[in-house]
Amino acid sequence: MAKTNFHPVILAGGRGTRFWPLSRQRRAKQLLALDGKQTMIQQTVARLLPLAPPARLWVITNRHLQRELVRQLPRVSRRQILAEPVGRNTAPAIGLAAFLLLNTDPDAVLGLFPSDHVISDSKRYRDVVKNGIQIAASGRNIVVLGIRPTRAETGYGYIEAGSPFQGDAWRVRRFTEKPDASRAAEFVRAGNYFWNSGMFLWSARTLTDALLEHLPKTASLLQQIAATFATRKFAATLARLYPKCENISVDYAVLEPRSAEGEQNSNIICLPADFRWNDLGSWTALHEHHSAKINPPDGNLVTGKGAFSLQAQGNYIHAPGKFVAALGVNNLVVVETEDALLITTREQAQEVGKVVKYLDEKKFRNLV
């Protein structure tokens, strides 16, 4: 790979509400070790460090998680673990990083990476990212990593691939957000659709130009904030101006208007990501992920001090320090913490976020 000024930007805000009660406001999903001994954010950083030194790595988070992230990521500069004063979705977050880097490295190429994905083949992952960096560095290209769908999933956005670009990359025809079941099945049958992984690559110049064009008010605010970075004014300027930014995802702010320019003019490129990906979006997804690796004969996955099961199948039970007995129950999710107990089914596990919404409404702050 030719030398490029690659700067990974990891988005590590959010609360991970679908992993309640293990995930909390100050201990969100990305701070948990859900797949091995390292936490999700530590795994993300470890995958990226061979591509860029710690001095070029940025983390965007919130004030609840910043201190713990600094503790978990000792190799990343404290001043490059930025806390949003309020959540404003992905466009302002990655936009701030782009304007910051444009001031110091006009040739910077940014990669946008979620902090809580599981990647099973790190070497292949880096090969794909390297390819994406080269495409992003050659003009105003926006590269999105697409996952070839394995089922008619309604919880993901879809990318329709159009004409070939180069190698195994495709020009993007359009994006579709979370289709219904019949349309998702149609996309899978068509064979030229990919899941939107939420991983993007672009030059700082390409992204800032796009924000100035499509989101000018927010872009102006981000420019003003970036101009004060590494000065005593930065914290106060961030706190004052960032809440005025529009609350919008980069998909809606940049990708949709850019894709409207047409397949041949949008310069949006889909790079197939064949490195075994899972976004672990729920307790059900975590059960499926671990079951595929361990393949337990009864489908039960138990974290405890020992377990006994009888006529019980497909359960996920997390009860550290306790002996677990499961009798005549199937496809349950049971998660115990010191102050809370979740009991649901694998089918309903996507609804766990509604528990957190209820706790917020009732002001049970110690439980969120």
Q: Is the pLDDT of residue 4 over 80?
A: no
Read off the pLDDT of residues 215-245 as tens digits, 9 standing for 90 and up.
999 999 999 999 999 999 999 999 999 999 9
Task: List pLDDT tens digits, range 14-34.
Answer: 888 999 999 999 999 999 999
What average pLDDT score do residues 24-52 get?
Answer: 95
Q: Residue 3: its pLDDT value, please?
A: 52
For residue 2, the model assigns a pLDDT of 44
Query: Which pLDDT belongs to residue 304?
Result: 92
Mean of pLDDT values over 147-158: 91
pTM, two decimal places: 0.93
Three-class DSSP category at 305: coil
Go through the domains of the chain in sequence order and give each one's CATH number.
5-278 (3.90.550.10), 283-367 (no CATH)
Q: What is the reported pLDDT for 82?
A: 97
Looking at per-residue confidence, does 278 or 133 come out higher?
133
Pick from 126, 188, 122: which is nearest to 160 by CA? 188
Mean pLDDT of the chain: 95
The residue written with tokens 């999700």 in the block is 40
For 137, the token pair is 């560095």
Task: Please tell me which residue, 115 or 15, carries the higher pLDDT value.
Answer: 115
Q: What is the pLDDT of residues 59-93, one digit of tens each?
A: 999 999 999 999 999 999 999 999 999 999 999 99
**Tens of pLDDT, residues 297-356:** 999 999 999 999 999 999 999 999 999 999 999 999 999 999 999 999 999 998 999 999
pLDDT greater than 50 at residue 1: no
Q: Say whether pLDDT at 368 is over 70.
A: yes
Give the span between the Cα atoms of 144 and 112, in whole angstroms. Answer: 10
| Alpha helices, DSSP H, located in the chain | 40-48, 66-72, 90-104, 122-137, 181-190, 204-214, 216-226, 234-241, 250, 256-259, 283-294, 353-361
pLDDT tens-digit series, residues 169-212: 999 999 998 899 999 999 999 999 999 999 999 999 999 999 99
Burial (CB count within 10 angstroms: exposed 0-12, middle 13-18, buried 19+), residue 49: middle
Task: Give the rounded percent of residues in the chain with a pLDDT score beyond 90.
Answer: 92
Question: For residue 7, is pLDDT > 80?
Answer: yes
pLDDT of residue 16: 87
